[in-house]
Structure 1
Amino acid sequence: MSSDPRRQPERSAQQAYWFADVVEHHRLRHDLAVVRLIGEYVPFTAGQSVEVEVPQFPGMRRRFSPALPPSLDGKLEFHIRTVAGGWCSGGIVADTRPGDRWKLTAPQGMFSVDPDGDEVVMIAGGTGLAPLRSQILELARHQYPPTTYLFFGGVSPRDLYAADMLVLLAADLPWLTVVPVVERLEDPHWPDQWHDRHRVDIGFDEDDLIQGTLAEVVGSYGKFDRHQILVCGSPAMTRSTVERLLDTGTPPERIQFEGA
């Protein structure tokens, strides 16, 4: 039997862990990287998270949400942002290299969308985008996905790290509308070499940006009582957005939320 785990997908559903190898590491901001891997099929569902162990920190596990839905060819993508005091996440952003082997365990979570259900409102702050993007790509596999609105927010335009991907995705999926939200319209004055290095022409126009917090902007639309609602971001953003939704009269049973 081959020792290459990528040639053993039939075992995966019975395994307690799976392996995948880093094939791309794109550091997009000083504190953020997109990591792509190929390995064994991991039996999670779109919107779930998995525990990850990386070679730089053996024995230490951190939970991240794949930004792609599960695929039999073993492709995985993670959006990793450093957190204050989080030397593990900082190490992943700065030190990940192609060829690193990651160990993945324990798919978990109930973040889900009914593809035959009501319209969908997704609210993503920062890398909270990852599980929602996974859900969008999963919906795209269906013939008639529900109309979906994605509110994607950050402090400044520079925080909208996936602008190019989202613009292209919305152009390709007629049922998807992306609403970019920023708390201020100007980027900070200090330079970010990674942002400057990877600057692309495709992205949101300044006129597309809505200024405010995600809670303020989403709340301005009134109650969502006939929608499936998913909220994912920092604990503070998630808490304030859910509270604002409830204040508008949105039924709590309509809201799913997770901190990223």
Structure 2
Amino acid sequence: MSEREVELWSATVVQHHRLREDLAVIRLEGEFVPFAAGQSVGVVVPQNPNVGRRYSPALPPSLDGKLEFHVRAVPAGWLSGAIVADTAVGDRWQIGAPSGRLSVDPDAREVIMIAGGTGLAPLRALVLDLARRPQPPRVFLFVGGRHPRDLYASDMLWLLDQDLDWLTVIPVVEEIEDPDWTDEWYERVRGAEGFGEDHWLQGTLAEVASSYGAYTDHQVLVVGSPPMVRATVRALVDTGTPAGAIQVG
């Protein structure tokens, strides 16, 4: 095993922002980590230093060592649940080697990004990275969830959509009504400026993204759960999008 494969960088939690019962945004500062926007990195947290996971930063790399992760607690996922519920400011995380090839081609003119849940994180990093280019490509970002409150980054995406004239955000929900149980964390942030019901398109990401026809002159990036990715890629190919134009994360 090479030295790079076992190298770890250190970062300290500076903010733990709980957005939903099962989701939190964690911001850290520390050593510069040499990843590229769209990649994932290894993460080891003090809640269980013997178990590592891979997460995709939601910010592009910065020389001042800023990192942001969007973490959802998955069923029977002890580590992800501990990160969401128990992370505290001051916790020291170890960041491992980056991997993955999700990226936007330098000569891409139009890009379709499709994010399910926290699959938004690497695509948000890519959008912010594109903002550094003198002439970014036109980007259409489909972001979806089962219910409206699953669109956990609505306020942030609203601001990006307003600030970046080359970006169009398309929020997608499978069901227009939220479930009838209360999520206290959502209630705390509810009402913040963001996309509302007048902006939502109803359906699955596969249905909505493929309803625009074949993306024959676009680069397409799809990130989310394995079932969502499979269904979306299948729908895109079935409607004429070349399989070779699609990257998955």
TM category, shorter? over 0.9
Q: 1:145-196 deviations in whole A, cap 9, x for unaligned?
A: 0000000000011000000000001111000000000001111111000000
Whether 1:169 aligns to 2:122 is no
Partner of 2:96: 105
Q: 1:82-140 deviations in whole A, cap 9, x for unaligned?
A: 11111100000000000000001120000000243230000000000000000000000
- Is the 1:115–1:142 Cα contact (8 Å) retained in structure 2? no
- Is the 1:157–1:187 Cα contact (8 Å) retained in structure 2? yes
| Deviation of 1:27 (Å) | 0.6
Q: What letter is aligned with 2:8?
A: Y
Q: Distance in 2 between matches of 1:52 and 1:240?
A: 29
Partner of 1:207: 198
Whether 1:72 aligns to 2:71 is no
| Partner SS state of residue 198, structure 2 | helix
| Deviation of 1:200 (Å) | 3.5
Q: Distance in 1 between matches of 2:33 and 2:244?
A: 30
Matches within 5 A, 1:245-256: 245-256=236-247
Q: TM-score, normalised by structure 2?
A: 0.97
Whether 1:235 aligns to 2:226 is yes
Q: What letter is aligned with 1:97?
A: A
Q: Which runs of 4+ in 1 moved over 4 A?
A: none
Matches within 5 A, 1:8-27: 16-27=7-18
| Partner SS state of residue 140, structure 2 | strand
Q: Distance in 1 between matches of 2:174 and 2:212?
A: 17
Aligned-pair identity (%)? 63
Partner of 1:141: 132
Q: What letter is aligned with 1:186?
A: E
Partner of 2:47: 56
Structure 1 residue runs without a partner (length 5+)? 1-12
Q: CA RMSD in A?
A: 1.2
Whether 1:119 aligns to 2:110 is yes
Partner of 1:129: 120
Q: TM-score, normalised by structure 1?
A: 0.93
Q: What letter is aligned with 1:220?
A: S
> What is the aligned length?
246
| Partner SS state of residue 95, structure 2 | strand
Structure 2 residue runs without a partner (length 5+)? none
Partner of 2:143: 152
Q: What letter is aligned with 2:209?
A: V
